[in-house]
Amino acid sequence: MISKRVQNMSPSQTLELNSKIAKLRQEGQSIIALNSGEPDFNTPPPIIEAAHQAMLSGKTKYTQTPGIPELRDAIARKFRRDNQLIYSADEIIVSTGAKYALTNTFMALCDPGDEVIIPTPCWVSYVEMVKLAGAIPVLVPVHPDNQLDMEAIEQAITARTKILLLNSPNNPTGAVYPKKSLARAAELALAHDFYIVSDEVYEKLIYGSTPHISVASFSEAIKARCITINALSKAYAMTGWRIGYAAGPRDVIKAMSAIQGHTTSNATSFVQWASVTALDGCDDYVETMRQAFEARRDYLYERVSKFPGFRCPLPDGAFYLFPDVSDLFGRKSNNRTIDGASALAEYLLEEAGVALVPGNAFEAPRAIRMTYSNSMENLVEAMDRIERAILQLA
């Protein structure tokens, strides 16, 4: 019999949607995918060449479990340069993507019954990761503008609170949390003796006036209570390379390394060498991608803001819009009733050929996520299709 641990999991709606899109395309339907959480750009050539050279030179063997020293040193330089954080190599671990770095963190910190506060909307895997670690997810909604509700977070703290999980820039909302909110989160962590896990994978994709700030940079005291998660996936268009990392207190990183040693061991060796090149010499490529994303964001936001029934704050980061579409609930087209975000996503997929992710996947059933990590040509066509489909609803 399958374990209760797995039986208690909810399947990933984003992965299920990918399967449905593939099936529709096999049937010959034209589908524009605005559901995917990855850049549409190819990995920058210097990174690809660095991986190639690493393989040719025989760097294809096992490495130290927490990562090669050269990469951990490069990550330390990145933290010092970008986040004003000083970490040594033994305070950094390289993992098979940020997803595993997060899972590793929860497994290292949580005992059964511990509570993890998660602001919602939130990324699809957070809740399931926490449950797999035996902990209890405590969901706290954000404000309507997608900013943290610090009063609600404070009220959610109990004697069992072990972690506050923050994700800025946020997936799915694109919100960037300001210094005031992050500083308050740090105060609460110190006052109530819990950790902050800060998922910062979209930090280089910022478009507004609110800068990205690492919570751990506020003081040495809060740095000792923070685990900062990052990856090369989003900024460097390296999603399939599966390379992420975490930085934090030595004892936590040591525990994470022990877990990793019995599960995945090291991240792929030649990918680690390519990642050194990415971190040390490819920020010009990142800026080019960021500028393209910003232009797409501006276009998409202008179009979506005019759709009847769509209400959407302007996102300052990542590459998502997350409009509230609840004003469309109850409307009909032929024999179809839009009774929720999932029904609207299904309608737009089947009638308009545009794939979006319903907000149910992100603990926000009144909204829908669309990504602008697609070409401008496809975004224009997708918006035209959605507009036509929405206007057919009565």
**How confident is the model over 262-281, as a mean pLDDT?**
97
Q: What 8-state DSSP symbol labels residue 157?
A: -
**How confident is the model over 282-301, as a mean pLDDT?**
98
pLDDT tens track for 170-179: 999 999 999 9
CATH fold match for the domains 4-42+284-389 and 58-281 = no
CATH architecture of 4-42+284-389: Alpha-Beta Complex (3.90)
Q: Give me the pLDDT at residue 203, please.
A: 98
Q: What is the pTM of this model?
A: 0.95
Q: What 8-state DSSP symbol labels residue 144?
A: T
Q: Give me the pLDDT at residue 15, please.
A: 67
Q: Give me the pLDDT at residue 306, please.
A: 96
Check: CB of residue 264 under 8 Å from CB of residue 253.
Answer: no
pLDDT over threshold 80, residue 201: yes
pLDDT tens track for 49-70: 999 999 999 999 999 999 999 9
**How confident is the model over 260-280, as a mean pLDDT?**
97
CATH topology of domain 58-281: Aspartate Aminotransferase; domain 2 (3.40.640)
Cα–Cα distance between 220 and 156 in angstroms, integer?
25
pLDDT over threshold 70, residue 48: yes
pLDDT tens track for 13-39: 776 777 778 787 788 888 899 998 899
Cβ atoms within 10 Å, residue 201: 25
pLDDT tens track for 133-185: 999 999 999 999 999 999 999 999 999 999 999 999 999 999 999 999 999 99
Q: Give me the pLDDT at residue 376, please.
A: 97
pLDDT over threshold 80, residue 342: yes
Share of the chain above pLDDT 70, in %: 99
Look over the chain and give the mean of its residue pLDDT values, rounded to a whole number: 95
Share of the chain above pLDDT 90, in %: 90
Which secondary-structure segment (H or E) carries 294?
A: helix 283-304
C-alpha 150 chain-centroid distance: 21
Q: Give me the pLDDT at residue 7, please.
A: 85
Cα–Cα distance between 327 and 108 in angstroms, integer?
43
Q: How confident is the model at residue 254 (pLDDT cuts 50, 70, 90)?
A: very high
Q: Give me the pLDDT at residue 270, please.
A: 98
**How confident is the model over 386-394, as a mean pLDDT?**
94
Q: Helices (H), strands (E): how many in the chain?
A: 14, 14
R_g of the chain, CA atoms, integer Å: 21
pLDDT tens track for 202-212: 999 999 899 99
Which secondary-structure segment (H or E) carries 244?
A: strand 244-247
Q: Give me the pLDDT at residue 24, please.
A: 75
Domain spans of the chain, in order of start: 4-42+284-389, 58-281
